[in-house]
Amino acid sequence: MYTPNTKVIDIGKRPIEDYVFEAVISFQEGVDEIILKGRGDFISRAVDVYWALKDRLGDSIELSNIEIGSERVRGRMRSYIAIHVKRKY
């Protein structure tokens, strides 16, 4: 669910640590759920970001859902992943 307290972080080619930092700050600011979204070649990177974030925050977060989807971009299908991470406390 995309509640007001959900933040979507689009994973691209910036360093993994940038996305981890963005997620940590968002949780500190009161966001309850973060969705790490990676498309095409960035799917692998979204998974890497998840593990780097898990290393950083440990048991204070949990993986609540993983979706894989496919969407049409300029006439061709492109796969994506959406990794839902919740703050536990």
Q: Which residues bind a second copy (CB under 8 A)?
A: 38, 40-44, 47-48, 50-51, 63, 66-68, 70, 77, 79-81, 83
18 vs 40, which CB is nearer to a second copy? Answer: 40
Residue that has been written with the tokens 């979507």 in this structure = 8
Report the nearest approach of a second copy to the CB of residue 52 (Å).
9
How many other C-beta atoms lie within 10 A of the C-beta of residue 7?
A: 18
Two structure tokens written together for 88: 């536990």
The type of residue at 67 is E
Residue that has been written with the tokens 């963005």 in this structure = 22
Report the nearest approach of a second copy to the CB of residue 51 (Å).
4
